[in-house]
A and B are shown apart, each in its own frame.
Chain A
Amino acid sequence: AQSVAQPEDQVNVAEGNPLTVKCTYSVSGNPYLFWYVQYPNRGLQFLLKYITGDNLVKGSYGFEAEFNKSQTSFHLKKPSALVSDSALYFCAVRDPRGGSYIPTFGRGTSLIVHP
């Protein structure tokens, strides 16, 4: 079975400060990991993914995420937050063994960037 946890319902950060949105996962094998962003009244948009290779993954809008196998984490980071980064962020995991087509999503973390 696969699962993902986003331990924070909300993260508050001041504009210009670094931000981190946390994600931990559980799968039996090597995971495929994803981050998505959802702006108000919009669908989810893909930010970045880890499949294999370098543990530090860079994505859209200056976001990056670090895959840590020993801690089973995939935290989303950005060096300097913008007010426009305020949105709902979802982490997702998929175990590719057996040809699984189904990603499991976390419950989401609301990021609020204060001016």
Chain B
Amino acid sequence: NAGVTQTPKFQVLKTGQSMTLQCAQDMNHNSMYWYRQDPGMGLRLIYYSASEGTTDKGEVPNGYNVSRLNKREFSLRLESAAPSQTSVYFCASREQGAGELFFGEGSRLTVL
């Protein structure tokens, strides 16, 4: 059982380039999330999807877009990368009710 799978694990971009982080879960969860983790800042929510077909902004959505492609997949796109988007990005999913989050292994992004 793979759980939550994120690709790529590492990426280096130049300022202004675009890229998409992919996330897929095989647990049939309804809710999916994208977080970024920066030193001393903990986890900050970028976007979330409560269910297939819906997406909503989190705490730090500027500079990002998301797509809930189907129940399994939730992608995060950076249209024009900036150095401030250098971070580690985590995708997570959650089952209904009081369920805990299941996290992917993270995608480490550096923007030069």
Binding site for B on A (CB under 8 A): 32, 34, 36, 41-46, 49, 51, 90, 92, 96, 101-103, 105-108
Contacts and interface: CB of A to CB of B under 8 A. Distances in A.
Contacts of B101: 34, 36, 44, 46, 92, 103
A107 B98 contact: no
A108 B98 contact: no
Interface string B39-50: 011110100101
Question: How large, as a class, is the contact surface on chain B?
Answer: 20 to 34
Contacts of A34: 100-101
Given A43-B103, A44-B101, A106 B94 contact: no
A45 B103 CA distance: 7
B42 A44 contact: no
Contacts of A108: 42
Contacts of B103: 36, 43-45
Nearest to A46: B100
15 contacts: A34-B101, A36-B103, A42-B105, A42-B106, A43-B106, A49-B98, A51-B98, A90-B43, A92-B101, A101-B94, A102-B45, A105-B43, A106-B42, A107-B40, A107-B42
B98 A32 contact: yes
A42 B104 CA distance: 8
Interface of B: 4, 31, 40-43, 45, 48, 50, 58, 90, 92, 94, 98, 100-106
Contacts of B94: 101
Nearest to B42: A107
Contacts of A36: 100-101, 103
Nearest to A92: B101
Closest 9 CB pairs of A and B: A43-B103, A107-B42, A46-B100, A105-B43, A44-B103, A51-B98, A43-B105, A101-B50, A101-B31
A70 B98 CA distance: 22
Given A43-B104, A43-B105, A107-B40, A96 B48 contact: no
B100 A49 contact: yes
A36 B45 CA distance: 16
